[in-house]
């Protein structure tokens, strides 16, 4: 039966559209973190929405499961192949056209396989801003970014991916195409379906194109890296910036001293931009559209007040776009540096912003009690309450022994997160890694509604099986 399906897919998609040789399929069958490696019957690379629809319909007719995939940069196995070798990967990379950029409507219509960076660059050329930025933006694709409702560095100012979403085009599990590519700011016409697909991690439909909201480009931008004594000092500094002008804060990121040490050790060209090592650092970026007023002077004023108040012990302000990029590199290479250092357990968690210092203190204590010598490496988006509470293996421990305790470690962190009314997944999604947690965190009517939606849209259960919902 599979042979017949593969032949039909070959006919539908043509030569570059289907891979069946294991060596060719290998890069699509393993995740970035190396946690999941699977076997697929084929990897499809359709070039149009119609081809995606035809392929999905054929798979549904043959009762074969489909795993949608974008840039494959996810952290929770959201595009992992979970079956016995019969599943088919639908990779969206060849749907890579920017359809329209409209600087009056301030919208971008873009296909799913365009990388976030390519979309940002195209929009910038048109004089606008696509205000979504994540560390993996050079590889992550728009479809995946929307499917997981990515957050990233600018959530504090512009919200998450779904907040920028005006319209969607989706291939449904039976192969129908839903064209909801509207670009309206107001449209109260029944259930908001685009928001159902955003964040559904490819379990309800495959996003093939989207209309996204653009923002005006800030005409003044300043960035500074500050040395802070503690997470509490970082939070107090955030409040100071908020008090001055909350709308000017584009990003407010936290890094631990240990985390930055690893970046400097493992990432070529990375160096400490400050006089001395500190227990923690804040990377703050301000931006305003207005040309009046001097943003640099405002930043200097806030920082000098912060020095006097003892919140900051040292700071450097970027003098050029290049220096700004170097400061960002120190933050964005955290995941890569941690990967090079050894095995890590990642906790992408969120709490109310005011509770971040307590989260870091209590979760660190719990993990250190649980695994003596564990290296606590928290970093992330303190301005919106999302911390990547990552933990590295003790130096003298085997990676496999450490990873064998991942559930225990995640539970210890999540216990603190729950007591602070937070979430066990802030921006990375549930994938298959965190599916077992859903019953505890989202049980009762909430999970029941999710199961009913899944059954209604995908009665055969063929789209991205074993993701998000516990079976
Ligand atoms: C980041 O903010 O750099 C990412 O979400 C990556 C991570 O959690 O490791
Ligand atoms: Zn992040």
Q: Which residue's CA lies nearest to atom 8 of ligand 1?
A: 388
Distance 71 CA to ligand 2 centre (A): 16
Q: What is the pLDDT of residue 375?
A: 98
- Residue 58, SS3 per DSSP: helix
Distance 164 CA to ligand 2 centre (A): 17
Rounded CA gap, 397 and 191, in Å? Answer: 51
E strand or H helix that includes residue 391? strand 386-392
Mean pLDDT to the nearest integer, 221-231: 98
Q: Which residue's CA lies nearest to atom 9 of ligand 1?
A: 335
Mean pLDDT to the nearest integer, 340-366: 98
Q: Inform me whether the pLDDT recorded for 355 exceeds 80.
A: yes
Q: Inform me whether the pLDDT recorded for 29 exceeds 90.
A: yes
Q: Are 255 and 234 in contact (CB under 8 A)?
A: no
Rounded CA gap, 328 and 57, in Å? Answer: 43
Q: Are 340 and 348 in contact (CB under 8 A)?
A: no
Q: What is the pLDDT of residue 143?
A: 98
- Residue 199, SS3 per DSSP: coil
Top mutation candidate among 334, 336, 340 for ligand 1, by most atoms within 8 Å of CB: 334
Mean pLDDT to the nearest integer, 305-326: 98
Rounded CA gap, 204 and 100, in Å? Answer: 26
Q: Inform me whether the pLDDT recorded for 99 exceeds 80.
A: yes
Mean pLDDT to the nearest integer, 424-428: 98
pLDDT confidence band for 471 (50 / 70 / 90)? confident
Nearest alpha carbon to residue 204 among 194, 189, 212 = 194
Ligand nearest to the CA of 345: 1
Phi, psi of 141 (to 5 degrees): -110, 155
What is the side-by-side order of every strand in the sheet holding 88-91?
18-19, 42-44, 88-91, 66-69
Q: Are 385 and 235 in contact (CB under 8 A)?
A: no
Distance 133 CA to ligand 2 centre (A): 9
Nearest alpha carbon to residue 338 among 398, 390, 406 = 390
Rounded CA gap, 368 and 387, in Å? Answer: 18
Q: Are 362 and 416 in contact (CB under 8 A)?
A: yes
Rounded CA gap, 70 and 16, in Å? Answer: 17
Q: What does the pLDDT look like over 232-269, one tens digit per residue?
A: 999 999 999 999 999 999 999 999 999 999 999 999 99
pLDDT confidence band for 121 (50 / 70 / 90)? very high
Q: Which residues is 69 bridged to in the sheet?
A: 91
Nearest-5° Cα angle at 417, 416 to 420: 90
Distance 113 CA to ligand 1 centre (A): 21
Top mutation candidate among 75, 331, 389 for ligand 1, by most atoms within 8 Å of CB: 75
E strand or H helix that includes residue 110? strand 107-111
Q: Are 141 and 116 in contact (CB under 8 A)?
A: yes
- Closest atom, ligand 1, to C-alpha of 379: 2
Top mutation candidate among 379, 382, 431 for ligand 1, by most atoms within 8 Å of CB: 379
Mean pLDDT to the nearest integer, 193-208: 98
Q: Which residue's CA lies nearest to atom 4 of ligand 1?
A: 135
Q: What does the pLDDT look like over 40-63, one tens digit per residue?
A: 999 999 999 999 999 999 999 999
Pocket of ligand 1 (CB under 6 A): 75, 135, 332, 334-335, 346, 348, 380, 388
Mean pLDDT to the nearest integer, 279-286: 98
Mean pLDDT to the nearest integer, 334-344: 96
- Closest atom, ligand 1, to C-alpha of 332: 3
Q: Which residue's CA lies nearest to atom 6 of ligand 1?
A: 335
pLDDT confidence band for 1 (50 / 70 / 90)? low
Give me the percent of the chain exceeding a pLDDT of 90. Answer: 98
Cα–Cα distances (Å) from 271 to 134, 266, 321, 351, in that order, read 21, 10, 17, 31
Nearest alpha carbon to residue 167 among 135, 143, 195 = 195
Q: What is the pLDDT of residue 15?
A: 87
- Closest atom, ligand 1, to C-alpha of 428: 5
DSSP 8-state secondary structure symbol assigned to residue 182: -
Rounded CA gap, 244 and 126, in Å? Answer: 31
Q: Which residue's CA lies nearest to atom 7 of ligand 1?
A: 335
Ligand nearest to the CA of 344: 1
Q: Which residue's CA lies nearest to atom 1 of ligand 1?
A: 135
Q: Inform me whether the pLDDT recorded for 383 exceeds 70.
A: yes
Mean per-residue pLDDT of the chain: 97
Distance 152 CA to ligand 2 centre (A): 5
Rounded CA gap, 275 and 324, in Å? Answer: 17
């Amino acid at each position: 039966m599979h042979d017949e399906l593969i032949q039909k897919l070959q006919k539908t998609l043509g030569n570059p559209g289907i891979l069946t040789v294991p060596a060719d399929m290998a890069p699509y069958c393993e995740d970035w973190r190396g946690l999941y490696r699977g076997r697929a019957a084929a990897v499809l690379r359709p070039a149009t929405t119609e081809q995606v629809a035809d392929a999905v319909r054929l798979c549904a007719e043959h009762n074969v499961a489909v795993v949608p995939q974008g840039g494959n940069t996810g952290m929770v196995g959201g595009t992992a192949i979970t079956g016995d070798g019969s599943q088919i990967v639908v990779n969206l990379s060849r749907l890579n056209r920017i359809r329209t950029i409209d600087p009056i409507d301030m919208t971008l219509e873009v296909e799913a396989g365009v990388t976030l960076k390519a979309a940002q660059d195209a929009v910038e050329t048109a004089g606008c801003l696509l205000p979504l930025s994540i560390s993996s933006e050079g590889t992550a694709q728009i479809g995946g970014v929307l499917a997981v409702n990515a957050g990233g560095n600018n959530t504090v100012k512009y919200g998450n991916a779904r907040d920028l979403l005006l319209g969607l085009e989706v291939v449904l599990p039976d192969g129908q195409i839903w064209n909801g590519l509207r670009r309206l700011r107001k449209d109260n016409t029944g259930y908001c379906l685009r928001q159902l697909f955003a964040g559904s991690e490819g379990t309800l439909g495959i996003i093939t194109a989207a209309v996204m909201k653009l923002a005006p480009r800030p005409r003044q931008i300043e960035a500074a890296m500050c040395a802070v004594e503690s997470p509490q000092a970082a939070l107090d500094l955030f409040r100071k910036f908020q008090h001055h002008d909350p709308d000017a804060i584009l990003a407010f990121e936290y890094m631990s001293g240990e985390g930055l040490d690893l970046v400097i050790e493992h990432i070529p060209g990375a160096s400490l931009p400050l006089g001395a090592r500190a227990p923690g650092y804040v990377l703050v970026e301000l931006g305003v559209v207005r040309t009046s007023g001097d943003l640099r002077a405002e930043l200097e004023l806030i920082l000098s007040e912060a020095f006097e108040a003892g919140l900051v012990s040292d700071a450097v302000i970027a003098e050029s776009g290049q220096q700004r990029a170097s400061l960002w590199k120190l933050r964005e290479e955290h995941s890569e540096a941690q990967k090079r250092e050894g095995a890590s357990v990642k906790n992408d968690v969120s709490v109310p912003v005011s509770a971040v210092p307590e989260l870091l203190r209590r979760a660190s204590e719990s993990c250190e009690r649980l695994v003596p010598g564990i290296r606590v490496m928290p970093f992330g988006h303190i301005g919106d309450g999302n911390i990547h509470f990552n933990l590295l293996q003790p130096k003298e421990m085997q990676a496999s022994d450490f990873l064998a305790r991942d559930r225990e470690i995640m539970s210890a962190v999540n216990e603190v997160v729950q007591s602070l009314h937070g979430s066990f997944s802030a921006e990375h999604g549930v994938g298959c890694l965190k599916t077992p947690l859903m019953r505890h965190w989202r049980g009762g009517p909430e999970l029941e509604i999710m199961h009913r939606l899944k059954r209604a849209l995908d009665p055969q259960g063929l789209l991205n099986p074993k993701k998000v919902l516990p079976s």
